[in-house]
Amino acid sequence: MLNRREFLHLAGAGTVGLLAGQAGGLWPMPHAVADVGFKPDVELTLKATVSENAIMPGQPTLVWTYQGRLLKGDAWHLDGSGSSYLGPTIRVRRGQKVRIHFDNDLPEESIIHWHGLHVPAEMDGHPRDVIATGRKFVYEFEVRNRAGTYWYHPHPHARTGPQVYGGLAGLFIVTDDEEQSLMLPRDEFDLPLVIQDRTFDENNGLVYLTHHMERMTGFLGNRILVNGQPRYTHKVVTRPYRLRILNGSNSRIYNLAWADGRPLTVIGSDGGLLSSPLVRPSVILGPAERMEVWADFNGMGKGDEATLVSRELDLGPLSGMTGPGGMHGATAGGRFLPNGAPFAVARFEISHVEKSSLRLPGQLTEFSPEDTDRAANRNAPRQFHIAMNHMRGVINNRVFEMTRVADDEVVTLGTREVWEFINRGGMPALPHPMHVHGLQFRVLGRLGALYSGYLDEGWKDTVLLMPGERVRLMMRFEDYDGLFLYHCHNLEHEDMGMMRNYYVRAA
Ligand code: C2O
Ligand code: CU
Ligand code: CU
């Protein structure tokens, strides 16, 4: 039997029909059984199932959720304490081996993707690996990422939007020795905030797309939930907190700031800590992007409140209000909250005054500036044009094809490349949060920036492109060959085909 490396050689250049129709012979079947040779440090089960959750006052809401169970390791690894629909928070140390048994108890196919993690292609949760109702998939990988805030969610083709919207998502937090050596807030002072927007009908049922044109702007809910709760309020003491913020929304963009006008102290982005803290009046966070904030409530008094808000962002015709989605976006609840509208996100209420000796470190970690000279294509970036074309999401004029890669989507293991994403704008002019699987990249620069509030610093896996913008990224293809995805993380766009494979060819 040929292995996939040999197959690619035989197939040669051109549009390569990797595995198409022959998956059984050329690719290992979905991992349904554990590998006895793999010795996990942490082992758990995640079951995706239909359940009920009390989100709003009154009737419970039917949700789709991940239920976790720890099989090996201590309780720290699996924090299922929350009563929300979100999946449990998985916590691991860099270098640990993890085995996760995924049970699909949903009424349709699904697969889990580990967003931001650097794992082998067969463990990445590619849509070709979906499993049917009642089936099981076993993930086994070593955690190689830096300490940081990653997450997991479903990735079946054309159904990611509705499945995530239904409630399927959770955090995957990695720590390492370098992070542990810093005196950062820990335990209850290390607070994840997953921001999502939802619309409820009069019976508290979740309302997803009500008009097909809404898919153009992407789904926009009229209520902001944090950690699965509406009007999120958290009691805090007067000391520093580490806020790990994930924009877990399908399409909504946030422009986060403190209501009282003091700046945000940003310490991390998608792939972990920045080299040093950044002070910003506000930060624009596109879908799937993460930001970590040092929030020091010192100096406030008992009963005082600090509010994290999303400030108005003038997205004009992109807001869903006057764009192609138009007023159709005014869903069941009646009220419509356009993209870019201002609102409160989270309230922090001082429950008591307490002294703390924690100081914001001036230096968080060390990483060198990207050296473009080491890129194989430094003078000719690999370009990707992103557009919406007759209700189809296209990248270089191609829609998603399950197992295909074009010859300009093949890269070589062990090399570095400059990639350029280009949002042409045009009609319809839409923002596209672009995400690449399998690695963390660095943003080299942005051309034609419409705003100044992007968080492009640090290690990234998702970068927001407004219409007319282009970004250059430095990519490193390390450790794993195989088929990986890159796509728009506006989940409605992704489901409309704004997704492609790239293939890392063994050198
Ligand atoms: Cu967050 Cu391809 O996914
Ligand atoms: Cu991903
Ligand atoms: Cu998009």
Cα 361 to ligand 1 centroid, rounded to whole Å: 32
Q: Give the span between the Cα atoms of 113 and 75, in whole angstroms.
A: 23
CA atoms within 13 A on the CB side of 312: 2
**CB–CB of 294/239 below 8 Å?**
no
**CA 116 to ligand 1: nearest atom:** 1
One-letter amino acid for residue 299 of the chain:
G
Do 226 and 197 meet the contact criterion of CB atoms below 8 Å apart?
Answer: no
Q: What six digits make up the tokens of 219? A: 């789904």
For 340, other C-beta atoms within 10 Å of its C-beta total 23
Q: How far apart are the first and last CA of the chain?
A: 21
Q: Within its chain, how far is the Cα of 461 from the centroid?
A: 8
What is the atom index within ligand 1 of the atom nearest the CA of 125? Answer: 2
Other C-beta atoms lying within 10 Å of the C-beta of residue 427: 11
Take atom 1 of ligand 1 and give the residue whose Cα is closest.
Answer: 115
Contacts of 364 (CB under 8 A, 6+ apart): 182, 267, 268, 273, 274, 275, 276, 277
Residue nearest to atom 3 of ligand 1 (CA): 115
d(CA 307, CA 305): 6
For ligand 1, residues with CB inside 6 Å are 113, 115, 153, 155, 288, 435, 437, 485, 487, 489
Confidence (pLDDT) at 210: 79
- What the block records as the tokens of 477 is 């293809």
Give the number of the atom of ligand 1 that is nearest the alpha carbon of residue 288.
1
The 10s digit of each residue's pLDDT in 325-360 is 444 444 434 568 999 999 999 999 999 999 998 999
Closest by CA position to 453, among listed 264, 227, 191? 264
Please tell me the number of the ligand nearest to residue 487's CA: 1
Q: Do the Cβ atoms of 289 and 151 come closer than 8 Å?
A: no
pLDDT in the model for residue 379: 83
Counting Cβ atoms within 10 Å, is residue 202 exposed (0-12), middle (13-18) or buried (19+)? exposed
State in Å: Cα 351 to ligand 2 middle. Answer: 38
pTM: 0.92
| Sheet hosting strand 392-395, strand order edge to edge | 392-395, 382-389, 416-423, 470-476, 442-447
Q: Are strands 470-476 and 416-423 parallel, antiparallel or unpaired?
A: antiparallel
Q: Return the bridge partners of 236, or none.
A: 350
> Which tokens hold the place of 259?
């209501």
Kindly give the distance from the C-alpha atom of residue 487 to the centroid of ligand 1, in angstroms, as a whole number. 8
The per-residue pLDDT for 36 is 87
Distance (angstroms) between ligand 1 centre and the Cα of 129 equals: 14
Q: Relative to the CA of 487, which ligand 1 atom is closest?
A: 2
Token pair belonging to 213: 């044109």
- Ligand 1 atom index nearest CA of 153: 1
> What is the C-alpha to C-alpha distance for residues 328 and 336, in angstroms, rounded to an integer?
9
Instruction: Give the model's pLDDT for residue 320.
Output: 63
C-alpha to C-alpha distances, 20 to 7, 15, 27, 406, nearest whole angstrom: 12, 12, 10, 13
| pLDDT (tens digit per residue) in 248-282 | 999 999 999 999 999 999 999 999 999 999 999 99
* pLDDT by residue, tens only, the chain of 507 residues: 334 333 333 333 334 444 443 333 445 566 788 888 999 999 999 999 999 999 999 999 999 999 999 999 998 899 875 689 999 999 999 999 999 999 999 999 999 999 999 999 999 999 999 999 999 999 999 999 999 999 999 999 999 999 999 999 999 999 999 999 999 999 999 999 999 999 999 999 999 987 777 888 899 999 999 999 999 999 999 999 999 999 999 999 999 999 999 999 999 999 999 999 999 999 999 999 999 999 999 999 999 999 999 999 988 666 665 433 444 444 434 568 999 999 999 999 999 999 998 999 999 998 877 878 889 898 899 999 999 988 899 999 999 999 999 999 999 999 999 999 999 887 788 999 999 999 999 999 999 999 999 999 999 999 999 999 999 999 999 999 999 999 999 999 999 999 999 999 998
- Tokens standing for residue 38: 């793999």
How far, in Å, from the CA of 252 to the mean position of ligand 2? 18
CA of residue 171 to ligand 2 center, whole Å = 13
Around ion ligand 3, which residues have CB less than 5 A away?
432, 488, 490, 493
Predicted pLDDT of residue 336: 83
Q: Which pLDDT does position 233 carry in this prediction? A: 98
Q: How far is CA 91 from the centre of its chain?
A: 16
CB 135, CB 220: distance < 8 Å: no
Give pLDDT tens digits for 139-163: 999 999 999 999 999 999 999 999 9
Tell me what pLDDT residue 82 has. 63
Ligand nearest to the CA of 461: 2
The domains of the chain, with CATH numbers, are 4-180 (2.60.40.420), 187-352 (2.60.40.420), 372-505 (2.60.40.420)
Dist. CA 430–CA 423, nearest whole Å: 8
Tell me how far the alpha carbon of residue 59 lies from the centroid of ligand 2, in angstroms: 34
From the CA of 494, give the closest atom in ligand 1.
2
Q: How far is the CA of 315 from the centre of ligand 2 (A)?
A: 26
Query: Is the Cβ–Cβ distance between 129 and 26 less than 8 Å?
Result: no
**Nearest in space to 404 (alpha carbons), one of 11, 5, 20:** 20
